[in-house]
Every structure is written in C-alpha cells, then in structure tokens.
Amino acid sequence: MNKKIGTKILGTGSYFPSKVLTNADLEKMVDTSDEWISTRTGIKERRIASSGEYTSDLAYRASLEAIKSANVKLEEIDLVLVATITPDMFFPSTACFLQKKLGLNSVPAFDFSAACSGFIYGIATAKAFIESGLYKNVLLVGSEELSKITDWTDRNTCVLFGDGAGAMVLSASQDNDDVLSVFLGSDGSYADLLLIPGGGSINPATIETLNEKLHSIKMQGREVFKVAISKMAFAAQKALEISEKTIEDIKLFIPHQANMRIIEAVAKKLDISMDKVFVNIHKTGNISSATTITALDEAIKIGKLNKGDLVELIAFGGGFTWGATVLRV
C-alpha cells in the first residue's frame, strides 16, 4: 500500500529593499513623533522599495534564496504561488511575472489574496496541492510593497507599513510531514474596517476616486486592534489543538508583526512567555503577507530555530482573515 504523502519544508529565503525609512524621517513628513510610533506600535524603521523595484522583483530575490537553501534545481519547481495585496498589476498575476523572472517556463503560477494572513493561507494551499498528489515542489511567496498603496499624508496609517518578501519551498515527502496543522478563518462582515476601497468593481478608478484617495489603505485601527488580539489567540490555540502539541512543545511563536501591543496581548492571553515570541517589527513595520515568512527566515538564519524545532506562525488581516500553522523546520 502507498504511504500517505506528507509536506516537507525544504528551505526559506527573504529579501528587503535597501532604503530605510526611520521614524525620524516620518516626523518630517506628517504630524507624528518617534515617541508616539515607538510606544504605540513598536516600529522604529521600515524598508521602502524604489520606484523601479516591483513586488515581483522582491519576490524574485526571496525566491532565489529559498530555492538555494532548499537545494532543489529551479526546474524541479512545478507550482508558483504568490500571496500579495500589492501585485505588480491587477493582472497578469505577480506569480506570472515571477515565473518569467525565474525562467520557469510553463509551470502553473497564480496569486491569491488573504491580506496579512496570506502566507498561512498559502501554507494550507501548498499542503493541499502537494498531499493531493497534484504537484511535488511548490514555491510559496509572500511579497508586498505596501509603500505603494500608502497615503503618505495620513499619519494614522503611513507610519505602520513597509516592503519586503519571503519565500518557502515545500515538497512532497514519504517520510516527513513538516506542516503539522493549519487553521484558517475569515469574516467578511468586518470588510469596512481595513481595506482599499478604490480600483475594483465597486469604485473603479476615476478622477474622483483619485481625489478622495480611495486607492490607498483605510483602517479603523482601534477596532481592528481588538479583533486582531482575539482572533490571533483563537487561531493559535486551534492550530495547537489540531497538531496535538502544547505551548511547551513549541520552540518559537511567530505572530504577524502589526503592532507590538497586539503581539504582547496575544502572548499574555495564551500565557506564552515573551522570550518564546519572535519580534522584528522594529526593523520592518507591517509587511502584510510577507511578515510571518520573513520573520521565520530571520529566526532560522540567526539560530533561534534549529533543524527539527517546532514553530507556530499566527496571522490576522483584512477581510478579516486569520490563521495559524504549526511547522517543523
């Protein structure tokens, strides 16, 4: 009898644009202060892509690193998935631009949108494709240029976001199952609290939508904050239950990096000590779907995670969407 196919994590990679935008820089742009941003969010600086550097370019650099660390040949990749809310264009997909840049002729490639939960949704999607037997080696990328959909005159949002990309190669395996659990959820009744209202079929682009700045992120921060804490804690608990693991079994928790106060509140709610929680928000800001994967890649690179360790990724974002996954790295 054939053994059940499992999903092995072969490698990860990440990439950040070189330009750094500090809180001091923002003080010159809007009515804010380093003190407000640091104490209310934990962010000190974020990376910003240049005008000629696109979401697929960041994805490309992160992908090359992930493919190298996975030790697979480029031509062995048979599916390309990109989580993004800041695609190069509405269509073609950023995954197709990435596929072309990688020289991966003819393999299927598509984008999907689950906002800041995108990478966790992507793990579930990659796992399903692999374990159904449809594809063997999946390149999964979270890539964002939130700087390009930010209203740089709105102090409520412009201090929060940054740019970056992370990638993972997942592969079919008879011996390993590194994705121990995935739990996903969504609730579209919260759509109005975090969105880009313009540019789609509801508000197609016009001079008016441009003047009203409907093409940039709008957020009711305080309301989002409350739901984020409860849903992230809930998702984290559910993914642990499904994996039949406890908090003690997990070496490191990697929550979505939207606000240091949210991260601390989630840890408190779950009774997780902060030294088991990975934080890099001070350097990156919120990079939506790229957040958990770039943080995971950094944790591996700096030795916070070693081969065989269990890690839990937890995310929450526009939609609302939420999700968590327990992984063996």
What is the binding site for ligand UT7 (CB under 6 A)? 32, 36-37, 40-41, 116, 155-156, 159, 221-222, 224-225, 228, 258-259, 262, 286, 316-317
Select from 238, 218, 203 the least CA-distant residue to 318: 218
Q: 158 an active-site residue?
A: no
**Is the bond preceding residue 92 a cis peptide, omega within 30 degrees?**
yes
CB of 315 to ligand UT7, least distance (A): 8
Select from 287, 294, 295 the least CA-distant residue to 162: 287
Q: Which is nearer to ligand UT7, 293 or 305 (CB)?
A: 293
Closest-by-Cβ residue to ligand UT7 is: 221
Q: Which is nearer to ligand UT7, 300 or 315 (CB)?
A: 315
CA distance 106 to 213: 38
CA dihedral (145, 146, 151, 153) in degrees, to 10, reads: -90
List the catalytic residue out of 23, 137, 259, 286. 286
Residue type, 65: E
Q: What are the helix (H) ranges across the chain?
A: 23-27, 34-41, 55-70, 94-102, 118-131, 155-158, 207-211, 221-243, 260-270, 281-284, 291-301
CB of 262 to ligand UT7, least distance (A): 5
CB of 242 to ligand UT7, least distance (A): 23
CB of 96 to ligand UT7, least distance (A): 26
CB of 166 to ligand UT7, least distance (A): 15
Q: Which is nearer to ligand UT7, 12 or 257 (CB)?
A: 257
List the catalytic residue out of 116, 137, 158, 259. 116
**CA neighbours within 13 Å on the CB side: how many for 236?**
30
Q: 256 an active-site residue?
A: yes
Q: 286 an active-site residue?
A: yes
CA-angle at 329, arms to 268 and 287, nearest 5°: 60
Tell how far CA 13 is from the center of its chain.
13
Q: Which is nearer to ligand UT7, 37 or 300 (CB)?
A: 37
Q: Which is nearer to ligand UT7, 132 or 189 (CB)?
A: 189
Active site residues: 116, 256, 286
